[in-house]
């Protein structure tokens, strides 16, 4: 298990854009996707490669290509905001879906949808679960529980903004999952929002409030 906090000036700059309360829906969505694209480079940098013989215009040569397939699984709704950016970086990735929402009183995740590509359980598939926000960690833990039940083996989790308690809970619940975080914030407030955070990510992405 590893926790990687991405340190990159472009990512920090774009995070500031989405933290600002005056950022509109269009710019918010655009920046979330750009951050997801940038994160793809770090998340995939150690993906296994396999040897392949090819022919250049000059000669035959042994080169390398990705060994495994990638399945991106956004946690609905807000995870959808990261999918286009990740697919721009990795166009061959397949996409599965998990629908969860937090009960606003108990903060417990409630499942309402699940659909995965057939290769989710393959030994040669890496599954990347994405959600911009890791607050209590309840949603990510439940989503990964569900994916493991479908047979997924090599799982990574990526989020934009995390609370320390969320990272801690997810690491303890799923110690085999590598976690990638664009920003580790201070804490959760009394109603489960990340501080300073960026507010309700789903609402800001889709203009629902
Ligand atoms: C948000 C967010 C995560 C979850 C994080 O979703 O996108 O899924 O909260 O909180 P947690 O770590 O405490 O579980 P929300 O439940 O608001 O649903 P939405 O994406 O449909 O807006
Ligand atoms: N979900 C959000 O959208 N924002 C938070 O700060 C916490 C959970």
Digit-coded pLDDT (tens) for 129-148: 999 999 999 999 999 999 99
Nearest-atom number in ligand 1 for the CA of 76 is: 20
Tell me which residue has its CA closest to atom 2 in ligand 2: 200
**Residues at CB less than 6 angstroms from ligand 2:** 78, 133, 135, 192-194, 197, 200-202
What is the number of the ligand closest to the CA of 209?
1
109 pLDDT exceeds 90? no
Query: pTM value?
Result: 0.95
Answer yes or no: is the C-beta of 101 below 6 A from any ligand 1 atom.
yes
For residues 158 and 35, give the distance between their C-alpha atoms in angstroms, rounded to a whole number.
11
pLDDT of residue 103: 83
140: Cβ contacts below 8 Å, ≥ 6 apart = 75, 129, 131, 134, 157, 159, 166, 170
Tokens linked to 178: 């590598």
The β-bridge relationship of strands 194-195 and 187-188 is antiparallel
Answer yes or no: is the C-beta of 74 below 6 A from any ligand 1 atom.
no
Share of the chain above pLDDT 90, in %: 93
Average pLDDT, the chain: 96
176 pLDDT exceeds 90? yes
Average pLDDT over residues 51-69: 97
Tell me which residue has its CA closest to atom 18 in ligand 1: 101
26 pLDDT exceeds 80? yes
């Amino acid at each position: 298990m590893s926790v990687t906090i991405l340190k990159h000036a472009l990512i920090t700059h774009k995070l500031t854009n989405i933290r600002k309360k005056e950022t509109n829906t269009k710019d918010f969505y655009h920046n979330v996707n750009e951050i997801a694209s940038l994160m793809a480079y770090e998340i995939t940098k150690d993906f296994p490669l396999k040897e392949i013989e090819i022919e250049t215009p000059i000669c035959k040569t042994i080169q390398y290509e990705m060994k495994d397939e990638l399945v991106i699984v956004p946690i609905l709704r807000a995870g959808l905001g990261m999918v286009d950016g990740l697919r721009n970086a990795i166009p061959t990735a397949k996409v599965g879906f998990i629908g969860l929402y937090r009960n606003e009183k108990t903060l417990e995740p409630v499942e309402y949808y699940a659909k995965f590509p057939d290769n989710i359980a393959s030994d040669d598939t890496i599954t990347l679960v994405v959600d911009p926000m890791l607050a209590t960690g309840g949603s990510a833990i439940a989503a990964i529980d569900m994916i493991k039940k479908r047979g997924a083996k090599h799982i990574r989790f990526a989020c934009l903004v995390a609370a320390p308690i969320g990272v801690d809970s997810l690491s303890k619940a799923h110690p085999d999952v590598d976690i990638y975080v664009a920003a580790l914030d201070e804490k959760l407030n009394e109603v489960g929002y990340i501080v300073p955070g960026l507010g309700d990510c789903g609402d800001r992405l889709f203009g629902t409030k």
